[in-house]
Amino acid sequence: MNTPLIKIDRVVKVYRVGSENFTALHDISLEINDGAFMSFVGPSGSGKTTLLNLVGGLDQPTSGEIFFKNSSLAKMSREKLAFYRRENIGFIFQTFNLLQVYSVYENILFPLLLNGDKEPAVRDQVMNLVEKVGLLTQVKKRPSELSGGQCQRVAIARALVKNPSLVLADEPTANLDAENSFHILELMRDLNRQFHAAFIFSTHDEKVTRYVNREVGLDDGRITWDKRRNGAGEFE
């Protein structure tokens, strides 16, 4: 049997809120394979973003373990977790989180520079992605000069530019109108096919459901369903 890309094993996450303990995730276990295109679905406070943060190595579980290609994230130092994110994970945020002082081109280039690549060597790679996300005419603009949909395209290109194994998208369509949401989801599905990177969304947007191949329902920190599309394209 193939090694899963991500294995979430009996993960519990407890936050301290004032003098109270708040359990955000209860005993979550999941396996996610290479090339997945899936979503964590649920209302606000259901634990979607917490789960994404744990998978992305931005946070550590209170108990349980998360494995990336059989390597436990719990055993990694802060430095190693940074390297893990840099080499394997692409993040897409609800509020885009673009670096405001950089142009579109520089925002997409940034993760490659962080990986130690030299700008002239990766220029074509960056421009290819700029073209794929349809921002060739905006390449020199700064985020403040772009629409929400255009900003999210930049964020997607930035997440994919280093060919990550996994893209984590936290509510990627929450700040977009219906038309932009549609374009962004189409774009991500195409890129998932082209780049073979696994995509995990956290969302409560029903539009996303139409695109994903697997949907994990979360409520109050517990998995309430885990549906996959069958050969006919229906969830079961």
Partner 1 sequence: MILRIAWKNFIGQGMRAVLNTLVTALTLIAVVFNISMYNGFQGQVTRNMVRTDVAGGHYRMKDFDILSPTQWEDYTFTVPDKIRDAPPNERAEVLVLQGQIFPKRRLFPVQLRGIAMDQSLIDLPLDKLRELGPEIGEKVAVVIGQKMADKAHLNVGDTVVMKWRDKYGVVDARDAFVADVVPIINPRIDDGLIWLRLDHLRQLTSRPNEVSWVAVNGDRGPIESLEFLSQEELMQDILNLIEHDRRYSKIMWVILIFLAGIGVFNTQILNIFKRQKEIGTLMALGMTPRQLVRLFTLEGSLAALVSVTVALVLGTLIFSWFQSVGLDISHLRETSIPVNERILLEIRPLEVLWSTVVIVSIMILVSWIPVRKISRLDPTLALRGKGIT
If the CB atoms of residues 52 and 215 are measured against partner 1, the closer one turns out to be 52
Name the minimum Å distance from CB 209 to partner 1.
25
How far is residue 233 CA from its own chain's centroid? 23
Place of tokens 């994970």: 89
Give the sign of the dihedral formed by CA 86, CA 202, CA 147, CA 179.
positive
Tokens at 34, concatenated: 């290479």
Site string for partner 1, 172-211 (x = CB under 8 A): ----------------------------------------
Q: Which residues contact 193 (CB under 8 A, 6 or more apart)?
A: none
Q: Any contact of residue 136 with partner 1 (CB under 8 A)?
A: no
- Give residues 101-130 in contact with partner 1 (rule: CB under 8 A): 101-102, 106, 110-111, 113-116
Q: Any contact of residue 23 with partner 1 (CB under 8 A)?
A: no
If the CB atoms of residues 106 and 205 are measured against partner 1, the closer one turns out to be 106
87, HSE (Cβ side, Cα atoms, 13 Å) = 7
Name the minimum Å distance from CB 101 to partner 1.
3
Q: Any contact of residue 91 with partner 1 (CB under 8 A)?
A: yes
Q: Which residues contact 123 (CB under 8 A, 6 or more apart)?
A: none
Q: Any contact of residue 59 with partner 1 (CB under 8 A)?
A: yes
With CB under 8 A as the contact rule, the residue among 39, 46, 53, 181 that binds partner 1 is: 53
Count of residues that bind partner 1 according to CB under 8 A: 29
d(CA 44, CA 218): 10
With CB under 8 A as the contact rule, the residue among 58, 74, 127, 139 that binds partner 1 is: 58
Tokens at 182, concatenated: 């549609």
Q: How many angstroms separate the Cα of 170 from the Cα of each of 41, 104, 162, 167, 236?
A: 11, 21, 19, 10, 24
**Contact positions toward partner 1, by CB under 8 A?**
53, 56, 58-59, 78-79, 82-87, 89, 91, 93, 95, 97, 99-102, 106, 110-111, 113-116, 158
